[in-house]
Amino acid sequence: MRNTSHSDDPSADFQKNSSLLFASASVFLAGKVTDNVGAFVQVTYDNYAKQGSDGSWRGHTSADNMDIRYADRFIGPDRDIIFGVTANNNPSVTDPWNSAPAWMQYVPVPSPTSSAFIDGAAPYTGFAAGGNIAGVTAYAFWNQTLYVEAGGYGSARGVASFMSAGVADAEKTRLQGTNPYWRIALSRELGAHNVMVGLSGMNADVYDDPLDTSDPASIHHFHDIGADAQYQYLLDPNAVTLQLAYMRDTHHVPALLANQPVFDVDGKPLANTNSTDRANVLRAKASYIYRAKYGTSLSFFNQTGTTDSALYDPTPVFGNVSGNPGIRGWTAEAFVTPVQYLRIGLQYTMYDRYNGASHNYDGAGRNASDNDSLFLYFWGAY
C-alpha cells in the first residue's frame, strides 16, 4: 500500500499490510461423469473469512463456482453443433471466453482490508445478481461460429442449496422468481488467430434483506447489459490475448430507500437519494506469454455512474464524500511459471480516481493515488 496515513486506525484499515500470508485454497472436482454429463465444482477456503473481537482470524469454507452440465455434439458435412444444458451458480461461469464476468478476474483476492485496492478488488464487469445463486441455462455453439445461451436464475434453495453452501444466510443473494440471463457471441478462427465479439444481459430482482423476503416493496430491480470482445494469437512459443469488456447496470431502488434526505457531517442537507442509478464498468487488458512460462499484462479499468447521496460516507480511507462511484486506474503485471504447478506474479495497481475524485475523496485528505498497491502472489495448482 502506497500510503497508510489519513486513517483513524491503520491497523484495522490496512490489516496484514506488507505481510506474507496464506490467503485461500480451492478444491476442484472437474471432468466427465458419463459420455454426456460432466461437472466443474469448486469449493474455496478463505483463511481470513472472519475476524473476532480480539483481532484473531478464522478460516471458512464455502461453495465457489459450480457448473454441472449435459452436452452433446452433432457433426455432419456442413454442420457442427455443440449443445447442452447446465445447472450452475454464477451467470457466465458457463462461458467459453475469459472476457466473461466470471473469468476475467483470475487471481484470488485475500480478505484482509490491506487487499482492498489490489487489482482483483478494483472494478470488474459483473452481473448485479452475483454468485451463490442457482440457475439452469441451455446453450448451443454452431459451426464454432455462433454461440447462444439463455436461461433463468433464482435463489439457491431446496435441492440447489448446495450451490451456496457455507455462505452465511445474511450474505446470500435472495432473488424473487426466475431472473432471465442471455448470451450471444460470434467467433472466428483463422489459423493461430481467434476473434470473438459478444453481448450478454440479465435482469435481477434482489431482496434488500436476504433474511426477509416477505415484502415485495423491498426489491431492487437490476437491468444489466454487457458487450465484450477477445482476440487471441496462439502459436508456440507465443501467446497474445487482447480483451475488452463493458457492462452497463441500471438499478431501480426500492421506494422505501429512494428520495430519502441525507445530511453531510456539518448537518447541511444534500440532495435526496435517487430512485434510479446507473453504473458503467469498462475493462481492457493486453497480455503476452512466452513459452507458457513468462508473462506480462497491462489492464485499464474505468467505472462511472450517477451521483447519488446514498453513497455519501465521510469515513476515512473507504469513504465517499462526492456521492459518485467513479473509479479509474491501471494494473501492470509480470509473472513466471518456473514449474508447471507454481506461478509467481507481481501486480502494481495505480489509481487516478477513486470514489468520484482524484483528491480528498473521503473528506479526510486521502487521494486516489494513495491507494496504489503492490501485490506479490504465489499461486500453486496441483
Looking at residue 10, what is its pLDDT?
84
| Model confidence band, residue 68 (pLDDT cutoffs 50, 70, 90) | very high
- Give the whole-angstrom CA distance, residue 323 versus residue 272: 11
Report the candidate in 285, 287, 382 with the shortest Cα–Cα distance to residue 343. 382
Length of the chain: 382
Residue 178 has pLDDT above 90, yes or no: yes
Residue 9 has pLDDT above 90, yes or no: no
| Model confidence band, residue 15 (pLDDT cutoffs 50, 70, 90) | confident
The one-character DSSP state at 34 is S
Domains of the chain with bracketed CATH: 10-380 (2.40.160)
| Per-residue pLDDT reduced to its tens digit, 302-348 | 999 999 999 999 999 999 999 999 999 999 999 999 999 999 999 99
The one-character DSSP state at 101 is H
Looking at residue 225, what is its pLDDT?
98
Residue 101 has pLDDT above 90, yes or no: yes
Reduced to 3 states, what is the DSSP secondary structure of residue 301? strand
Residue 251 has pLDDT above 90, yes or no: yes
> Could you give phi then psi for residue 218, rounded to 5 degrees?
-100, 15
Residue 113 has pLDDT above 90, yes or no: no
Helix (H) or strand (E) holding 129: none
Quick one: what percent of the chain has pLDDT higher than 90? 88
Quick one: what percent of the chain has pLDDT higher than 70? 100
Reduced to 3 states, what is the DSSP secondary structure of residue 13? helix
Residue 217 has pLDDT above 90, yes or no: yes
Looking at residue 54, what is its pLDDT?
82
Which has the higher per-residue pLDDT, 287 or 108? 287
| Per-residue pLDDT reduced to its tens digit, 145-161 | 999 999 999 999 999 99
Looking at residue 227, what is its pLDDT?
98
Residue 1 has pLDDT above 90, yes or no: no
| Per-residue pLDDT reduced to its tens digit, 272-297 | 999 999 999 999 999 999 999 999 99
- Give the whole-angstrom CA distance, residue 139 versus residue 82: 8
Looking at residue 219, what is its pLDDT?
97
Q: Is 252 in contact with 275 (CB distance < 8 Å)?
A: yes
For the chain, give the mean pLDDT.
95
Number of C-beta neighbours around residue 70 at 10 A: 15
| Model confidence band, residue 53 (pLDDT cutoffs 50, 70, 90) | confident
The one-character DSSP state at 91 is T
Looking at residue 137, what is its pLDDT?
98
Which has the higher per-residue pLDDT, 20 or 242? 242
Reduced to 3 states, what is the DSSP secondary structure of residue 289? strand
